[in-house]
Structure 1
């Protein structure tokens, strides 16, 4: 029972504890529900608060933006107010013009207006946008006035032309722009060029155009009279006179003026413009003067071609003086005009090259065109005129040597070879920069003389055959060639080559002329046959003519008489012919000496052996040895 009671009591206690726990759980569940409900209320209240805060933030941000816009607008309005005040001041300056306002103040006003314009373009205010057009018109007006002032300043310091001879003859430098104008023009150009670049326009700067339009005609008009004189002075009274260079050469004075004037102009350009603009300004400004030079050279080239034989030397002079000007300008200006000068000179340079072959060809045609030659063997003018052409080239040895190098040795032998490349440039296949131009020129002179003498020889043989007159004719012309070469400045170039050529032709002329001596000498050759015991003495010792004659038969004596008579007739005819020929003094002496050396020894031998044929009566023996010698000496 006790155990059962104990168990019952324990069960009752445990049940009571369970009830207590259950009661606690119910209470906790109720509290949990209350907490959950409270949490829901809190969350709902939080969401409501977040919405209210977010709405307040948005309104605050809008308010801040509004305040910032108000401040910006106020600042912009203040800036516009300042710009309006500044614009009004700058506009007054622009209206005054750069001359009255002063260049520096005027340009500063334009810079401020440009700055205002840049700021206005960035502004979103409608009032500012409305002012942009006004600013643009004002700035354009200001720029135009600056350009006009640049033009005015430049023209005030630029005469229409000047007298170039005043500076060339007195060796004075040509005038440049004055210092005070240089400073203003430089400042104006700096602003005008910068404004032009910033505008993005690809055309030339207005300052460049203005400078070329003002200074270009000044250069052209200054050189115009010398350009005309260069053409007029080459028109000689006697068209056959060879052109001679001199201190008053038209083309020489023209070239000197071009060099001095363009160098002075380049100095002015450098003072006004920046380095990057020098090339375009100088080329634009000098374009008219260079075009006038090219036109003048073309006109001179036409004249040279029409009178090539006597005026080819003008071509050589033009090549030299214009090349010198081009080189000087290239050295001082950086080759800005090199191509222009090369193009202007090209026609004359080509003619100068062709002239070497043309002179040869013209000379041969003149000789081949001869219908008659002097019957007395006198020289003809073609010879001296032709050699005079060679003599004239020495005065232009430098350009001629350069042309010779471009042609190459022997390149003158035909017109086709002399033409070189189709565009007139040297033929590089024959151009040897290591060649000696003077040596090639010497070869040309020898070839020229050879061609002349060959043509004369062929023409003389065609007209006279092989008569002695051909020898006289050739010897006369050879002597003239030799004399003219030796007495000119050509000789130092030719003294190693010409003597051999001259000597060869002299020997040919002697052979032709000495045929006459052979015709005479044939009568002095005896072919008398005697017996061994009666053979005439010969060789060493005195000759006993009487003994020889006694040993001859009557037939042989008659033959000797006939030989003396024939010799006398032939000799007299030879002397008469010799005297009748028109010979240069050197030629007459040469032939007389050769005749004497050929005939006199034979005659003296013949005379010594057979003069007793007429026993001193002179019936057959017309000349004794002294008389014979006297006759020859009279022929010298």
Structure 2
């Protein structure tokens, strides 16, 4: 047991010995490694000290190289527009005559883009190039403007005869499609470059100005003959002739202007962008509108000088121009107000004319120094009714004028007569028709009242006064019934003229009181003896006459004589008067209604006073009836 144990210890002791030997070797190796590390750190520090300056210089060189590359790129970018300018310069300076229009415009567009690029660099060194490029762009744009102008000159070379299109009711022509296409192309470029080249805040582009100048002058020249015709046709052949609708050329003038404006608006919409349509159209139409305003001023002067006869020209003109302004609004709304305002002087004159016509009616009657001694109507009545009848041809413009005056505003001194506002629409409705009815009624009442007053002054007998007033009433009523006044004045004719006719009849019949009075006798119903009667209830004239005393017989004879004298005189006068057909018929029936029953009764009682000799009883009942019937 001791032997093996000693052997195990000996083996373990040997292993320990080996372990210690290895540890000694490890320590020696560690010392060597540490020595190597120290030497390496010393060498690395020396290397770092040597490399650090070299690395810093390398970074600086990289930054510098990057900056040089950027400078070179900038130089290239700066040189590119300049090199392009040289290329575009050759194209632009060749001119439109030698270059296709689209290529020319494309070159200008490239030049414009290059100019914008140079302006963004903001290098002082580029100022010279910018100036050269700007001048080149202006030169090209100027040549395009000249081309734009030349095309417009060609389009205006042949003047349009508007009368031909108005007469045939054809639409007015617009420019040729190739002209419109070219003008649109040029305008698009100039509009785009205008902001780049313009040094001001002007909103009107050169093409807008050129277009308005040439086409506006063209429109004015196309319309100048019609403007002259409108002035020429207002001259009067007869000083007292009432203007007839359609006589003046203003209607054709306005229709031609409307057709040309609509066609021109179509041209504009095919050339310019939408936001330029209104301004371009307004400027283009300005020259012909100025001529139109001048023509209307000339017409207004003529109307004012001949107001009583040519106020109707004013009504017609107001209606035509107001209608034009309403229609043009649907196409070119900006022109509505200038057109509507252009007729304002004539509109004001037309408003004033309604008061003047009413005053003229009164004045003309008051200034009469004599009336027809046969009771005939005077021409003034027919003139006044003709005026009113003529007004029915202008109900649309008159409706607006009357509406602005208000009911009764046409009377002198009315508070409504100074109103200056007018509706911009033409509407003939029940209210405006009522206003016109009231105006006509005031005119007729003024006429008849003054005629009646004048007849009392200048005509001696009542019956002649009645005939005169009745004749004038008949003319008034006849013109109402036989004209367009009938539906308007139906109520007036039925309600207001009847009292006038009764008044005229009463004036006429007042003279017939004298013969009527001769046919009245006195009967005493309380006497015992009753008048004898014949068979069948007929009066026995012989018995009645026989029963009369001598004084009563003489009185009856005197009554017959006085009746015959007065009756014959009045019949003679009746036949001598110049009566309107309906007046003669009416007054004849009125006389017959009064005289015949009285005479019949008187004749039945006393015709035997002269025993049929006809010395006192001049007319039998039949003869009197025939005579009275002949009065109608």
- TM-score bracket, normalised by the shorter chain, equals 0.7 to 0.9
Match in the other structure for 2:529: 534
Separation in 1, partners of 2:583, 2:428: 43
Distance 2:384 2:370 in 1: 19
Equivalent positions of 1:201-350 (< 5 A) are 201-203=200-202, 204-246=204-246, 249-333=248-332, 335-350=333-348
Cα deviation, residue 370, structure 1:
0.8
Instruction: Choose the corresponding residue for 1:481, options 457, 462, 476.
Output: 476
- Is residue 2:449 matched to residue 1:454? yes
Inter-partner Cα distance in structure 1 for 2:243 and 2:416: 22
Pick closer, same or farther for the CA change 1:468–1:72 going to 2, 3 Å.
same
Per-residue CA distance 1:29-60 (angstroms, 9 max, x = gap): xxxxxxxxxxxxx9xx99x979x969985x66
Q: Which moved more, 1:568-577 or 1:199-208?
A: 199-208
Q: Distance in 1 between matches of 2:73 and 2:161?
A: 65
* 8 Å CA contact 2:396, 2:428 repeated in 1: no
Q: Offset at 1:608?
A: 1.0
Cα deviation per residue 1:566-615 (whole Å; 9 max; x = unaligned)? 11111111111111211112211211111111111111111111112111
In the alignment, structure 1 segments of 5+ residues that lack a partner are 1-41
TM-score, normalised to structure 1, is 0.86
Structure 1: distance between partners of 2:173 and 2:95: 30
Q: Show the counterpart of 2:390.
A: 392
Ranges in structure 2 where 5+ consecutive residues have no aligned partner = 1-41
Corresponding residue to 1:596 among 584, 592, 595: 592
Q: Secondary structure at the match of 1:172?
A: coil
Match of 1:633 in 2: 629
Q: Distance in 1 between matches of 2:416 and 2:219?
A: 37
The answer to whether the 8 A contact 1:407-1:427 is kept is: no
Contact 1:151–1:210 under 8 Å retained in 2 = yes
State whether structure 2 residue 583 is matched by structure 1 residue 584: no
Contact 1:123 1:129 in 2 (8 A): no
Cα gap change, 1:124/1:456 in structure 2, threshold over 3 Å: closer, same or farther?
Answer: closer
Q: Is 1:569 the counterpart of 2:552 in the alignment?
A: no
Q: Does structure 1 conserve the Cα–Cα contact (< 8 Å) formed by 2:408 and 2:414?
A: no
The corresponding residue for 2:17 is none
Residues 417, 102 of structure 1: alpha-carbon distance in 2 compared, 3 angstrom cutoff: farther
Deviation sequence 1:398-418 (CA, Å, 0-9, x none): 222233333333222236556
| Counterpart residue number, 2:33 | none
- Where does residue 30 of structure 1 map in the other structure? none
SS in 2 for 1:514: helix
Correspondence 1:10-29 to 2 at 5 A: none
Relative to structure 1, the CA distance from residue 504 to residue 537 in structure 2 (aligned partners, 3 Å threshold; closer, same or farther) is farther
Matched ranges for 1:334-413 at <5 A: 335-413=333-411
Separation of aligned partners in 1, 2:330 and 2:436: 29
C-alpha distance in structure 2 between counterparts of 1:284 and 1:513, whole Å: 70
Rate the CA distance shift 1:326–1:124 in 2: closer, same or farther, 3 A.
Answer: closer
Distance 2:468 2:507 in 1: 10
Is residue 551 of structure 2 the alignment partner of residue 555 of structure 1? yes
TM-fit CA distance, 1:265? 0.3
Q: Quick check: 2:519–2:559 contact (8 Å CA) kept in 1?
A: yes
Preserved contact between residue 433 and residue 488 of structure 2 (Cα < 8 Å) = yes
Structure 1 residues 207 and 629, CA, compared in 2 at 3 Å: closer, same or farther?
A: same
Q: Distance in 2 between matches of 1:273 and 1:632?
A: 86
CA offsets per residue over residues 206-260 of structure 1, 9 Å max, x none?
Answer: 11100001100001111111111112112121121111123x7411111110110
C-alpha displacement at 1:541, in angstroms? 2.1
Shift of 1:165: 0.7
CA distance in 2, matches of 1:419, 1:408: 8
CA contact (8 A) 1:408 1:432 kept: no
For the residue of structure 2 that corresponds to 1:396, the secondary structure is helix
Contact 2:371 2:455 in 1 (8 A): yes
Q: Does 1:624 align with 2:620?
A: yes
Distance verdict in 2 for CA 1:62–1:156, change over 3 Å: farther
- Count how many residue pairs are aligned between Structure 1 and Structure 2: 584
User: In the alignment, what sits opposite 1:85?
Assistant: 83
Query: Cα deviation per residue 1:510-548 (whole Å; 9 max; x = unaligned)?
Result: 000001111111111112548612243689921111111
What is the CA-CA distance between 1:351 and the residue it aligns to?
2.0
Structure 2 CA distance for aligned equivalents of residues 186 and 314 of structure 1: 43
Relative distance call for 1:132 and 1:200 in structure 2 (3 A) is closer
Instruction: Indicate if the aligned counterparts of 1:301 and 1:348 stay in contact, CA closer than 8 A.
Output: yes
Structure 1 distance, partners of 2:395, 2:416, is 18
Report the equivalent of 1:168: 166
Q: 1:192 aligns with which of 185, 190, 193?
A: 190
Change in Cα spacing, 1:562 to 1:93, as seen in structure 2 (3 Å) is same
For the pair 1:504 / 2:499, whether they are aligned, the reply is yes
Tell me if structure 1 keeps the 8 A contact 2:325–2:337.
no
Q: Structure 1, residues 433-464: CA drift from partner, whole Å, max 9, x if none?
A: 98522232223222221221111111111223
CA distance in 2, matches of 1:387, 1:631: 35
CA contact (8 A) 2:400 2:427 kept: no
Q: Residue 436 of structure 2: which of 434, 441, 451 is its match? A: 441
In the superposition, relative to structure 1, how do residues 105 and 530 fare at CA in structure 2: closer, same or farther (>3 Å)? Answer: closer
Change (3 A) 1:499 1:608: same
Q: Structure 1's 74 and 555: CA in aligned 2 closer, same or farther, altered over 3 A?
A: same
Cα 1:415–1:344 change in 2 (3 A) is farther
Q: Which residue of 2 aligns with 1:128?
A: 126
Does the C-alpha gap of structure 1 residues 124 and 332 become closer, same or farther in structure 2, counting only changes over 3 Å?
closer
**What SS does the corresponding residue of 2:127 show, helix, strand or coil?**
helix
Distance 1:474 1:420 in 2: 35
1:606 to 590, 602, 605: 602
Rounded Cα–Cα distance in structure 2 between residues aligned with 1:305 and 1:125: 71
- In structure 2, relative to structure 1, the CA distance for the partners of 1:68 and 1:153 (3 Å cut) is farther
Please give the alpha-carbon distance, in whole angstroms, between the structure 2 residues aligned to 1:263 and 1:190: 23
Aligned pair in 2 of structure 1 residues 80, 623: CA closer, same or farther (>3 Å)?
same
